[in-house]
Structure 1
């Protein structure tokens, strides 16, 4: 926890907030501050700054639940310092545990717009998983924002029908962006062209000059029909060399290259 995140409604009129549960436990057992110390703190979807520790209770091994009272220092408040990256992601829904890891990873990296979509190779049971409930997804996002010292929530969307999304919504979402679909076969753009490294580097630099939207298929990839629909929506196929990657591997690889 590199940043203590609060909802605005947790602050009273004097800028005081009393924390219990996971955050208080972490503060008491890991950070171990003293009264008067100032900690990094932020308000969800708002500012970041310092909060002074006013009181600590229940941290001495007693049965009482730990609580920590903080007071925001308004003089230190500023806009969230963790820069977002200008990349939107469209991802065929992976296994639920992998989906949560991807949400966490993308949140830490500063991706603020993520669309999970259906695909022929996505199992129907994935959509019913309790691991993807709004509450569990939100908790994963908060943990990742705390790690990255960011206050801005990403927008996470779930689209259960492939064709209506690609034909009716995706063109508008992709407007004004360089649209790419990760596809290892006959890629129009290859960022790992061992025969022409200079050309690959030039293309990479060109791609970074504008906002990007990247589509990533399921394990096994998009089927040809789906690639065709994405191309009709304005997406160019993008290759990363001869290796075939898992979804949870290719996403950080793409972000590392294109961010």
Structure 2
């Protein structure tokens, strides 16, 4: 954790309390903090700042001199449509996309998404993974996360409303590279929406449906990457 994020109800009139056991453990065992030390904190949905440890027990850390005077970093002007991945990969991807500052995340079904993934208990823990990503990226504003279990109706009926400029679908067999795509339309800048498949990528039928909504298939080189590697490689362009 690069900062400790607190819910609104834990912050009041210059005093705050850390009550989440994972955060208390991090402060005590990872930061090795003691009474009198200053911590980087933030209020979920609000500002970032600092506070001083006033008292500390195994159940609660009381903070004083709370100063929340820094605005969180701006979100990326970006929506990521991600084919629901394997459950053990989902946590890392949600954390990474949140830390990178993605504004909207849409988890969608795909041909290569196994039906069992939609019954995974990991989907009940998305808020937990978002919090981890926010604390990693030193941010307080959570991305919106939408679940779409039917690929074709989503693409045909809803996808266009999410596209504010251009859109791409990451596809290792796309006819053009991401850099070629950007050079062809420099006035538009980076896309407003990126579609990324699960392991194995999109099938041709899905690419055709996406193309019908003006979502261009692009590749990022000759190597076939795991989903989490592809997400970070592509989204890193927005940080540059």
Q: Under a length normalisation based on structure 2, what TM-score does the superposition of the two structures give?
A: 0.90
Whether 1:153 aligns to 2:145 is no
Equivalent position to 2:177, from 190, 201, 204: 190
C-alpha distance 120-40 of structure 1, shift in aligned 2 (>3 A): same
C-alpha distance 162-39 of structure 1, shift in aligned 2 (>3 A): same
Q: Tell me if structure 2 keeps the 8 A contact 1:178–1:207.
A: no
Whether 1:115 aligns to 2:106 is yes
Query: What value does the CA root-mean-square deviation take over the aligned residues?
Result: 2.2
Shift, 1:28, TM fit: 1.7
Worse-matched range after superposition: 15-24 or 109-118: 15-24
Aligned to 1:222: 202
Aligned to 1:73: 66
C-alpha distance 237-20 of structure 1, shift in aligned 2 (>3 A): closer
Q: Tell me if structure 2 keeps the 8 A contact 1:100–1:132.
A: no
- In structure 2, list runs of 5 or more residues that go unmatched: none
C-alpha distance 120-13 of structure 1, shift in aligned 2 (>3 A): same
Q: Find the residue that maps to 1:146 and give its secondary structure.
A: helix
Aligned to 1:177: 165
Q: Tell me if structure 2 keeps the 8 A contact 1:56–1:69.
A: yes
Aligned mates of 1:155, 1:5 — CA distance in 2: 18
Structure 1 or 2, whichever has the larger Rg, is: 1
Give per-residue Cα distances to partners, 1:93-138, cap 9 Å, x unaligned.
11111111110111111112111101122110010011221xx211
Give per-residue Cα distances to partners, 1:121-172, cap 9 Å, x unaligned.
2110010011221xx2111111121111111111111100011110111100
Aligned mates of 1:223, 1:115 — CA distance in 2: 18
Give per-residue Cα distances to partners, 1:220-246, cap 9 Å, x unaligned.
222222111111111011122222222
Q: Tell me if structure 1 keeps the 8 A contact 2:168–2:191.
A: no
Q: Under a length normalisation based on structure 1, what TM-score does the superposition of the two structures give?
A: 0.84
Q: Find the residue that maps to 1:185 and give its secondary structure.
A: coil
Aligned to 1:196: none
Aligned mates of 1:87, 1:151 — CA distance in 2: 17
Aligned to 1:213: 193
Aligned to 1:244: 224
Aligned to 1:131: 122
Aligned to 2:82: 91
Q: Tell me if structure 2 keeps the 8 A contact 1:28–1:66.
A: no
Aligned mates of 1:23, 1:94 — CA distance in 2: 28
Aligned mates of 1:202, 1:13 — CA distance in 2: 49
Shift, 1:34, TM fit: 3.2
Q: Find the residue that maps to 1:86 and give its secondary structure.
A: strand
Aligned to 1:24: 24
State the aligned residue count: 239
